[in-house]
Amino acid sequence: RKDVGRISTGSTAVDELIGGGIETQSITEVFGEFGSGKSQISHELAVTIQLPEDKGGLEGECVFIDTENTFRPERIEQISNYFELDHEETLNKIHIARAFNSSHQILMAEKVNELIQSGTNIRLIIVDSLMAHFRAEYIGRESLATRQQKLNQHLHTLQNIATTYNVAIFLTNQVQARPDAFFGSPTKAIGGHVLGHASTYRVWLKKGLAGKRIARLVDSPHLPEGECVFKITSDGVVD
């Protein structure tokens, strides 16, 4: 894959764990229980994508598909202050798409094509969270096949944008605390077939002691499994 770009998570340790930051042309999924830091990393990336390359960004803009109303402009202001960026300019480069249900979420992802074609320099799409609507709408065994088919379609759209326009995809996924609870995780279950050439990174986030967080890389095709510690502070995600 040519011209792969990397975006810093704010933590050098997490960046190193995943091979130097989240990659364009790839899908990165973070999963973990409530409060593990998924939305915080999403906010951080929405800012760091805008930084120059030597500071961990790609001088790009992003689309933030918000499914649970978790986007907080005040948080962007704090993080952009830390990087000495003008917070209004920073907010202008974050294209918020509130998704009211799963069909709307799928549509919002498709619309990114038009945004890019109109000349907006989108280099990152965040979906926070990937599964919330799908889980709420498709309940029970009999709807599982339809759910997976819709989810497939959504991931396919995202993967296409990633490879066509050299964009990074960042997905969050809430799961229970117990690791054996993620067998049903969507990208794991169908990723191999659906995601085509876009490689997938999966990072499991856990709460540690004294406000620390642990990130563990799992199922990576070409990086060693491992874990590291990071923190969430008012400045954002840090080592």
Closer residue to ligand ATP, CB minimum distance, 116 or 204: 204
Least spacing, CB of residue 8 vs ligand ATP, in Å: 17
Least spacing, CB of residue 132 vs ligand ATP, in Å: 9
Residue 5 one-letter amino acid = G
Mask for 151-190, x = binds ligand ATP (CB under 6 A): -----------------------x----------------
> Residues 5, 10, 21, 37: which binds ligand ATP (CB under 6 A)?
37
Round to whole Å and give the CA distance between 59 and 7.
10
Q: Answer yes or no whether residue 80 interacts with ligand ATP by CB under 6 A.
A: no
> Residues 4, 13, 19, 70: which binds ligand ATP (CB under 6 A)?
70
Round to whole Å and give the CA distance between 152 and 213.
30
Beta carbons within 10 angstroms of residue 146's beta carbon:
12
Mask for 194-233, x = binds ligand ATP (CB under 6 A): --------------------------------------xx
Alpha helices, DSSP H, located in 68-224: 73-82, 87-92, 102-117, 132-137, 144-165, 186-194
The CA–CA distances, whole Å, from 226 to 178, 181, 218 equal 18, 20, 8
Q: Which two tokens stand for residue 129?
A: 């969270």
User: How many residues in total does the chain contain?
Assistant: 239
Least spacing, CB of residue 235 vs ligand ATP, in Å: 8
Give residues in contact with ligand ATP (CB under 6 A).
32, 34-40, 70, 174, 232-234
